[in-house]
Homo-oligomer: A and B are copies of this chain.
Amino acid sequence: MEITRKNFKQRLNFVTESINSADFLAVDGEFTGLDSNNGGHAMPFDTPEVRYQRVRQGACDFLLLQFGICTFHYDEAKMLYEARPFNFYLFPRPYSRTGPDIRFMCQSSSIEFLASQGFDFNKAFKDGISYLTPGDEANLREALQQKHQQFSQFSSPAFVTPDGVSQGTSKGPVSIPDEQKEFIKEICEKVSDFIEKLTEDKLSLPSCNGFQRKLIYQSLRAQFPSGIHLETQTGEKKERHIVVTRIKSEEDMKRREAEKQAAEVADLDNAVGFTKVIRAISQSGKLVVGHNMMLDLIHILHQFFYPLPESYEEFKDMCMSAFPKMLDTKLMASTSPFKDRIMSTVLADLQKILENKPFQKAQVEIAEKFSKYTTEKGPLHEAGYDAYLTGICFICMSNFLGTFQNPSQDIVPPSSPLVQPFTNKLFLMRVYDIPYLNLGGQDLTPNRDHVFHLTFPKEWKTSDIVHLFSPFGGSQIFWLNDTSAFASLHFKEDAQKALQSLRQPGTVYTIRTFQQYQHSKEGGQMASRKRSTTSTENNIANKKRKSLNVEAAPFVSRSITPPIPEENTENIDEPNGKHTDNTKAMETESSNVEDKKAEQMFVEPEVW
């Protein structure tokens, strides 16, 4: 069900009711970009905290432009889930002239990708539902109250005399220029007609520019000192015109003013808009399922709650208080017993894989009056549809857990203890040895004694590093840039030996343990490092391409993605290996690197 500002008000109750009556709900967001380059680039040995800081700094400048919510309701009788997929268009329309005028960032590749998928930007910008953070809402309410109090002291603005204090250093009314005289004369005649004939209550004057409105105000005030009320209104196309209403009495005037103020309060209430839906989800305490949902979660908190805290622990608390129960289907699919049975955790692939043995197609039917999405050929990357797929994946995987029970359990509800181990863990993209960010408790801290940080001349190729470690059983190599990389020994027990024999005086390279690296400057700055924009990127890219070190795309783990012509070309083609990687690191379904995503499946954290 598509929801814009045009039908939001009518639908809000139904949406809220759907949330509150759901067994669980799935969500998905579409963004104007993935990575502003402010957070530094994702790295294979990021800690969850470092990764949070990167995303916080790199993602919040972008906008959540479309939000999908699919509520799932289990029908005991039919023994299937009823799905209600809602697809919301969002836009931070400035509330009257008072609200914050948001500046937001777009990333060309993301915009182009959404456009290629048929995303309707006109609808988003024209009919997107507005929203306010609690902070902005509070400020605006207070301001509105103040304004209304003030006016109640002065009666209506139309009654402010031209000589009132409010006029400051004015030299008085401006004189009417010749070419405006005719226009103003006509207006005044119109109005006196309107006043004589008591037929109409309202008279809308033709829209005109600010100067003309100014002249109209001053002429009408002079000619009709009382008995009329003037108000400027703005049309669909932003053109403004004056509406004249007849005032029968001071009470009548007061009533009109009261109506106007009530309307203003209603407007503010509308401006809160979509934030109400997010609050409903939060208050429902229902299980919220997402696919690779870290980015979605961070945007939701940033856009509808409060600024993201600098403290990682506070962030965890914020998540848990906003959504006490979350589940990331990408993390679930990457964990036993699924990871060995699922070769691609990209949403569309995952959903198809889960339709076949050993899994069981989920029994889901779409509720009446909802767009009849089909899993065969749905509008991928439409938030409502992706949320729908995500929910289906969750159902399939949950039910699969039941098959290990004795007796086997066909339907495993979201509330089941079997699902518990997968909750409140966010998939950590392309972190080599930590599968998830643990919202519900302590994060994992794997042993990295066998991981080394290397620096070397920029002429070095993968083979040079390979050569270095082959005496010790070889290693995986994660390029960071032209002159540095991580190397992770295959045989952990040889770590000490390798370090001792490789750390020699007078070598062209330097080697140190991961721990030393982490305590060093670069390591410490991993999260806070700022990066400059495209032109520089392009130079780096160019530099890299000049050296044509096709292996130098950072941490494409060689042992898991054997280069093939296509891959080579892609590496060469990358504007900047870092960028590729970044896009991967930021994978969402609106990323435009499907095949990159597929590589995800290769990354199998060794600690599992």
Contacts and interface: CB of A to CB of B under 8 A. Distances in A.
Contact of A93 (B36, B112, B213): B112
A64 to B, nearest CB: 14
A601 B211 contact: yes
Given A563-B167, A575-B94, A109 B105 contact: no
B476 A211 contact: no
A61 B278 CA distance: 31
A210 B595 contact: yes
Contacts of A462: 168-169
Given A568-B157, A592-B238, A594-B240, A112 B125 contact: yes
A566 interface: yes
A200 interface: no
A113 B564 contact: no
A521 interface: no
A561 to B, nearest CB: 8
How many subunits of this chain does the assembly comprise?
A: 2
Contacts of A307: 535
Contacts of A562: 162, 167, 170-174, 214, 218
A75 interface: no
Contact of A103 (B122, B179, B209, B534): B534
A344 B214 contact: no
Contact of A166 (B146, B213, B568, B602): B568
Interface stretch (A136-144, A188-196, A418-426): A136-144
Interface residues of A, number: 134
Contact of A121 (B107, B121, B147, B238): B121
A364 to B, nearest CB: 22
Given A168-B463, A211-B598, A558-B168, A135 B100 contact: no
B567 A214 contact: yes
Most buried by B among A102, A108, A116: A108
Contacts of A602: 174, 211
Nearest to A144: B545
A49 interface: no
A147 B547 CA distance: 10
A113 B126 CA distance: 9
Nearest to A92: B108
A343 interface: yes
A531 to B, nearest CB: 11
A143 B545 contact: yes
Contacts of A270: none
A568 B167 CA distance: 9
Contact of A343 (B106, B146, B179): B179
Contact of A237 (B99, B117, B542): B117
Contacts of A349: 209
B538 A139 contact: yes
Contacts of A112: 91, 93-94, 125
B343 A238 contact: no
Most buried by B among A32, A146, A343: A343
Contact of A169 (B122, B146, B230, B476): B476
Contact of A535 (B100, B105, B170): B100
6 contacts: A98-B575, A101-B107, A136-B538, A143-B545, A232-B569, A238-B594
Interface of A: 32-33, 36-37, 91-94, 96-109, 111-117, 120-122, 125-126, 133, 135-136, 139-140, 142-143, 146-147, 150, 156-158, 160, 162, 165-174, 177, 179-180, 209-214, 217-218, 221, 230, 232, 236-240, 242, 307, 343-344, 346, 349, 353, 356, 461-463, 466, 474-477, 533-535, 537-539, 541-542, 545-546, 548, 550-551, 558-559, 561-570, 572-575, 579-580, 592, 594-599, 601-602
